[in-house]
Structure 1
């Protein structure tokens, strides 16, 4: 029997923000007990990555199972309000996607949460394979007013505006729970579901469930980089964790948990209040802190509990994995770049060679991870790190291994020739790079 598939994506969550990745308890107690329980009952990846250190490019990869650079919209860093009305800056409805291919394989498909892949009428979740959508179109909104940084209301059910009252994280969690209950009978009868639950937490603005009074203060100025604090940030993660706990409880109550694969990750590395230890850097950087993220897979019917894996992987690999496990097939004319991890899920002791490539127009960055080695270039500076031994990327070994540096540089350049060049008019985020995250 095909598994139900739930793909949970946090927004700007740091590598060590979760207890199961070494995160410290907050003043109120454990930050992520329910997510930690998924890891304890399943498989935790220690060297998994996102396709990009910024949000919408990773989402292009999640959806298409391909390097985001193959689409014009995927070269924005990230898509922003200037894409409204654009016929090119978004995910083309003609492009095969994970939800469209799973729907062809018999799945009911839904996205609850953040889309951030272009605006209607040219683009939208239901135009790219989702039967149902409830969430936001933009990259970030206020958690109470549900307005974007431009002041536009941005909460939708399908393509109709919703004016639901409440804290956005809770609204998304409740809708996900309702969705499980509504689809349970069909799932038990043989029509499984694919649910994308893409939270905006803990993305700015930094507001907890108790901070409704801040909504007016940050209206039209969601960046408010003078706001927030570590405790607020951790509480935001905790609110998301509570919702995931409710979702797991709903699956258990409906008798669906055993044969449901739940995958949890972040779209990129953390921002200013994140804990990325022992990694350096964060969102917008191709240092480890910008791209190495939590990856947790829980599927009692198939995944051994309490296991870990050092398998290298990135966002599009997980989408390829879900496609395979759901019995879907890539479109014959649109080959995918993602590599399925299905065999690793069933036997976490095995690993395979998986080179990973990145590029960013921001600070002219490029990176390649192959085996234990990472080639990194930032502006005009080149680095070679043994990241298995030096996850903090402190010892540049380029001068000790010039032939390896040259080989990895040539490898990256050969890959780069297979994807379109970044156009001059591609946007670069107004966000900031995090050079050194807070130390323990």
Structure 2
């Protein structure tokens, strides 16, 4: 019996010794996702602008990885936001236009009956992280449905500023945003959002958190702090492509927000275990900004409407100041965040994005060979209903009004000036067939012939709209 007792004591002792020797589990990473609205591909100094001053964004890029060929999931906002939160193509979600979309009752085609909210059955990043113990907050623009579809119904503990609206009534208090308590008169909205974000970080510093900070800026109305606007009026030169001083001041306020967040993380000693992601929901709005060398801008079928800034800082993993030329897209952030947190999509859950962790680690590339877009709507930015595919350096756009296609070699023609569709018929046919197969796979909704088609009554006529000089005024503009 003594021998048995000693054996039991030995086994128990070894068990406790082993338990003591086991390393403590690494703390779960925090996530800060900053989504800027209508922010163009060249609207930061680290992306080539000589007009906008963005020292904090540049610092983030110097500490993380900057992607040169990042894409928004759509040329307008709501679809990209839905794609970011779910990892799915907008076409699969049937959320394919900004909510509630432009109306063209006499246009040649009639848009499909698309979904004007983020369905509850979709599993957002917040809902995927909450079982792991994450605190979650959405601070800023939501624009994914009415009150029944607000952030708190999609896994967020906190919703400040998120409504069904696509732009704020004003960037200066009183804001008249139902989900944001009013601040003192004259308070600036971008500042307020970043202050609330820092407060959330402070309140949850002892637990993992997911902070989604979709700034209303730099969406219209173009309103900025007077003193910052004056600075940019003085910076304009005759050869400047980007010249809107009020917009530049709005960009600087976003940059201030990025700096405020980064400084708060450092102050609380959270910097080393917090992943920061910065990107935009679509290309820059012309003519408020200039997206050169890209063609067109928000609401168009071209690169200027979908190529965006994207910076990821994964402390201890991403090589500081690294640059990556791999084409990536909004949906990729979903599986990336889940993998970083040590979890995965649920069984049977469809995720169209691909984790960026091999790129961020520098250990490999992505498996996919193409990216897709689908916009079966009209937009004042120039878009008529279209789908597009990028495979390698080729980008093909199929327009539904007359079924014509355009093919561009982005490596040699980033401005999409030379249509190669007729000179490269085999490439055109192959990409068009692949695009059609993708639409079938995701269940993309197509526009239909409009029985009320009347070119003489159509607001923009049969051709994409020309922008009037008045569009450059620093005031309210279309969604």
Whether these two folds match at TM > 0.5 is yes
Please state whether the residue corresponding to 1:94 is helix, strand or coil: coil
1:327 to 332, 342, 362: 342
1:193 to 202, 205, 209: 209
Supply the distance in 2 between the matched residues of 1:35 and 1:434 (Cα, whole angstroms).
33
Alignment of structure 1 residues 129-140 onto 2, 5 Å: 129-137=155-163, 138-140=165-167
Aligned residues: 396
Supply the distance in 1 between the matched residues of 2:121 and 2:307 (Cα, whole angstroms).
31
What corresponds to 2:145 in structure 1? 118
Supply the distance in 1 between the matched residues of 2:217 and 2:466 (Cα, whole angstroms).
19
What corresponds to 1:301 in structure 2? 316
2:167 aligned with 1:144? no
Q: Give the C-alpha shift of residue 93 in structure 1.
A: 2.2
Q: Given that residues 358 and 364 in structure 2 are in contact (C-alpha distance below 8 angstroms), is that contact kept between their aligned partners in structure 1?
A: no
Alignment of structure 1 residues 62-211 onto 2, 5 Å: 62-72=84-94, 74-79=95-100, 89-120=116-147, 122-137=148-163, 138-141=165-168, 142-145=170-173, 153-157=176-180, 162-165=181-184, 166-184=187-205, 186=206, 191-210=207-226
What corresponds to 1:317 in structure 2? 332
Q: Give the C-alpha shift of residue 352 in structure 1.
A: 4.5
Cα displacement string for residues 411-435 of structure 1 (whole angstroms, at most 9, x for unaligned residues): 0000011224146699xxx999788
Cα displacement string for residues 150-174 of structure 1 (whole angstroms, at most 9, x for unaligned residues): xxx32415xxxx2223211111011
Supply the distance in 2 between the matched residues of 1:207 and 1:71 (Cα, whole angstroms).
33
Q: Given that residues 79 and 117 in structure 1 are in contact (C-alpha distance below 8 angstroms), is that contact kept between their aligned partners in structure 2?
A: no
Q: Given that residues 320 and 338 in structure 1 are in contact (C-alpha distance below 8 angstroms), is that contact kept between their aligned partners in structure 2?
A: yes
Supply the distance in 2 between the matched residues of 1:338 and 1:4 (Cα, whole angstroms).
21
Supply the distance in 1 between the matched residues of 2:245 and 2:411 (Cα, whole angstroms).
31
Cα displacement string for residues 282-336 of structure 1 (whole angstroms, at most 9, x for unaligned residues): 1111200000000101122211011111111110111221121112321323311
Q: Which runs of 5+ in 1 are unaligned?
A: 148-152, 212-227
Q: Given that residues 173 and 247 in structure 1 are in contact (C-alpha distance below 8 angstroms), is that contact kept between their aligned partners in structure 2?
A: yes
Supply the distance in 2 between the matched residues of 1:276 and 1:104 (Cα, whole angstroms).
41
What corresponds to 1:385 in structure 2? 408
The structure number with the bigger radius of gyration is: 2
Supply the distance in 2 between the matched residues of 1:40 and 1:371 (Cα, whole angstroms).
27
What corresponds to 1:253 in structure 2? 267
Q: Given that residues 104 and 328 in structure 1 are in contact (C-alpha distance below 8 angstroms), is that contact kept between their aligned partners in structure 2?
A: no
1:46 to 39, 43, 68: 68
What corresponds to 2:79 in structure 1? 57
Supply the distance in 2 between the matched residues of 1:352 and 1:81 (Cα, whole angstroms).
36
Please state whether the residue corresponding to 1:297 is helix, strand or coil: strand
Supply the distance in 1 between the matched residues of 2:47 and 2:115 (Cα, whole angstroms).
39
Deviates more, 1:261-270 or 1:394-403: 394-403
Please state whether the residue corresponding to 2:296 is helix, strand or coil: coil
Q: Given that residues 302 and 345 in structure 1 are in contact (C-alpha distance below 8 angstroms), is that contact kept between their aligned partners in structure 2?
A: yes
What corresponds to 2:37 in structure 1? 11
The structure-2 alpha-carbon separation of the partners of 1:154 and 1:116, relative to structure 1 and needing over 3 Å to count, comes to same
2:279 aligned with 1:265? yes
Q: Given that residues 120 and 154 in structure 2 are in contact (C-alpha distance below 8 angstroms), is that contact kept between their aligned partners in structure 1?
A: yes
The structure-2 alpha-carbon separation of the partners of 1:433 and 1:145, relative to structure 1 and needing over 3 Å to count, comes to farther
What corresponds to 2:249 in structure 1? 235
Q: Which runs of 5+ in 2 are unaligned?
A: 1-25, 104-113, 228-241, 379-383, 451-458, 473-479
Cα displacement string for residues 106-155 of structure 1 (whole angstroms, at most 9, x for unaligned residues): 211111111100011x21101001111111311101212565xxxxx324
